[in-house]
Structure 1
Amino acid sequence: MLLTSIITVFMAFIGRGYGEWALVWEDNFDGQSLDKTKWTYETGAEPKWGNHQLQYYTEDRRENVRVENGHLVIEARPEPMDKSQFTSGRLHTNNGWTRGRFVVSARLPKGKHLWPAVWIMPTQNTYGNWPASGDIDIFQFRGQKSDTVEAKAQYGGPYPNHTVSVSPLTKFTDLSVGFHTFTFEWDETEMRWLVDGQQYFMVDVHRDLWSHKGVDPYTQIGQPFDKPFYLILNVAVGGDYFPVDVYGPQVTPEEAKQWPKPTMEVDFVRVYQQK
């Protein structure tokens, strides 16, 4: 009985397609600094990001991004830079992949209006401006609700003529305590999202994905999810993800000094593709 339970848990953890995935890229953050052959910083502040975030993303600044004790650490800080009152870090992979299994082991931050995310974006806007060429949130998370995540896929046409497929807000354990595995599986027929092996969302992509608003940018079923996407890691602060009527006024630098945990630690990032 015990052996059967262990096998069941293991099969759930690895997701659908056991035995079909081959590791093609990974970073275990075992060095002393960020491997820039694998990662590139994204820098700057609003209006660059488009949703009223409060942070300035810095480059090569250990206070915001560092590798230590076998982990990548991204830290949001209440401190002025340029016209922003907060700093943080945002990275993307130098590689892109068409379909695959993306696995991130991370311990998430905790605190008012902290907004960590792991997501993928197209390497080129083949089908038009955002999000006609696709936008996938492997997860996003609100720091004052540290047991709840959300997954999202955006496609169908350029904003505002697009489609949003979004998961229910799904509760797990406190994701700021201990490392948890966030998995996104993407093949020709569907996309699946899992936390610690538990699938909580799925989107069928073997169909016409046009929103039926504006001009159809696609010529085949499954588009735009037939092109390479790169992976992004970041911790944002505030913005439109925190409606005032639900989450209250935007966090102030003084309030942010009381954040219980302003860091996202990443143990590893791994990308697999089907054999």
Structure 2
Amino acid sequence: MHAHARKNAKPFESQLLPEDAEPLPKPWLEVPDPRVRTSWWITVFLALVGVGLSALLVFNGIRTLPRIGNVCLVLDEEFDGPSLDTSIWTREVNMDGFGNGEFEMTTDSDTNSFVKDGKLFIVPTLTSDVIGRPAILDGYTYNITSCTAANTKHNVTSCSAVSNSTAGAVINPVMSARLHTRNSKSIRYGRVEVKAKLPQGDWMWPAIWMLPVDETYGPWPSSGEIDIMESRGNDPNYRGRGRNYAQATLNWGPTPDLNLAWKTNGFWYERRTSFADAFHVYTLEWDEDFIWMYIDTRLHKMLDRRIKKSFWDTGHFPTQVFNGSSVTLLENPWQSGAKSAPFDQPFYLILNVAVGGTNGWFPDTFGNKPWENRATTAMRDFAIAQDTWAATWPAPEERAMQVEYVKMYQKC
């Protein structure tokens, strides 16, 4: 039995590796091809050149960035007192729309501007909460006894209003606040920093901006306007750019019709949040050679204006303009100023929250806007739609523009 098993067993297979038909390569013993070495060194050389050129470009970019130089502190306001410091801030009291057809009146009431927990609050409120909804639309006369515009040529509409349903006239349906430093603090070249959280609610128009202390070169916009930040309280889905957008603008021109703000504006936006969700620092840097405006960091730049030639030469304005039925020569209003004119004079700071308006900041074609900018009854149409837009306004402090600090520096 065992012999039979051995006779039929499978033959033993060798586990030896087969011999290679060719000898194993030994590259360390071979003489290298000079062309391979040359190509290697060329690759290394080109890589080093690329790194060097990149470094040079970065260096030149940093070297050519504008620098504001030495600055001296003019205002350091942290709102840490029990109330608004009226030695610094003046509340404007007015109801004429400020040239933009705005729908709010601005007040000196602590309801619309106040200090709390180390912050300034600017809060839009409903006029109907004070005088009732029917009075907004008809049969009521509203007078501002503390009107700060009482001595201006616009005092009839600046300080009083009469509602009349037949004429389509209404009392301003919103109360808000507008604060400025014209009587206390201003700078000519320097830096401004405002740390703020923007308001939330349809048709709100928050702004941090500057106007000249004196109209050195004539009425607006000849003497300039610096808008450090403007935004809208509308939802981020609003096609006209809602509260996730912030814009910076320079207004300048020899006449209102020739305001070339469209040449000098820009914006920054948040992709996943909005400027009403957190505090951000809105900054202006400004001297005779450049004007920069940005949010939090220079990398988040809204506007970068290098002043290489005068604004008159930049504007390419016509030589003649129509004035009614006549034609007049257009003169350069800045010929006596510096290259940076009209931005070569002291400017003061303004903080405000407007609501609505007819100047085009809210375009007619977006967001189911309840008024048309050209309509003579725009404010009435807005007031009638109060139930719709007021429903988007959260509690007073949440819909406020909150300001944590304001710093102004003068170039030394």
TM-score normalised to the size of structure 1? 0.88
Distance verdict in 2 for CA 1:166–1:246, change over 3 Å: farther
Structure 2 residue 252 is the aligned partner of structure 1 residue 202 = no
Distance 2:369 2:230 in 1: 20
Query: Which one-letter code corresponds to 2:73 in the other structure?
Result: L
**Hey, which of these two has a bigger chunk of strand by percent?**
1
Contact 2:120–2:404 at 8 Å: present in 1 too? yes
Distance 2:216 2:365 in 1: 37
SS at match of 2:393: coil
Distance 2:68 2:92 in 1: 34
Q: Any idea what the Cα deviations from partners look like across 1:82-120, whole Å, max 9, x if unmatched?
A: 321100000001322101100000010011101000000
- Aligned-pair CA distance for 1:18: 7.5
Query: Which one-letter code corresponds to 2:172 in the other structure?
Result: S
Aligned counterparts, 1:43-192, within 5 A = 43-47=93-97, 49-59=98-108, 61-80=109-128, 82=142, 83-93=171-181, 94-144=184-234, 145-164=242-261, 165-172=263-270, 173-192=273-292
Distance verdict in 2 for CA 1:224–1:18, change over 3 Å: closer
Distance 1:33 1:97 in 2: 25
**Hey, which of these two has a bigger chunk of helix by percent?**
2
- Aligned-pair CA distance for 1:179: 1.0
Contact 1:72–1:265 at 8 Å: present in 2 too? yes
Larger radius of gyration: 2
Query: Which one-letter code corresponds to 1:185 in the other structure?
Result: E
Distance verdict in 2 for CA 1:66–1:268, change over 3 Å: same
- Aligned-pair CA distance for 1:273: 2.4
**More deviation in 108-117 or 256-265?**
256-265
Distance 2:179 2:207 in 1: 11
SS at match of 1:191: strand
Distance 1:179 1:16 in 2: 26
Q: What residue in structure 1 maps to residue 354 of structure 2?
A: 236
Distance 1:97 1:54 in 2: 31
- Aligned-pair CA distance for 1:142: 0.8
- How many residue pairs get aligned? The number is 260
Distance 1:76 1:153 in 2: 26
SS at match of 2:210: strand
Q: Matched residues, percent identical?
A: 33
Q: Any idea what the Cα deviations from partners look like across 1:160-183, whole Å, max 9, x if unmatched?
A: 123213434421241111211000
Q: Any idea what the Cα deviations from partners look like across 1:200-228, whole Å, max 9, x if unmatched?
A: 31112342112324221012421111110
Distance 2:343 2:403 in 1: 26
Distance 1:88 1:97 in 2: 26
Distance verdict in 2 for CA 1:207–1:178, change over 3 Å: same
Structure 2 residue 343 is the aligned partner of structure 1 residue 253 = no
Distance 2:407 2:267 in 1: 25
Residue segments in structure 2 that go unaligned for 5+ positions in a row: 1-61, 132-141, 143-170, 235-241, 319-329, 371-381
Query: Which one-letter code corresponds to 1:259 in the other structure?
Result: W
Q: How much is the aligned-residue C-alpha RMSD, in angstroms?
A: 2.0
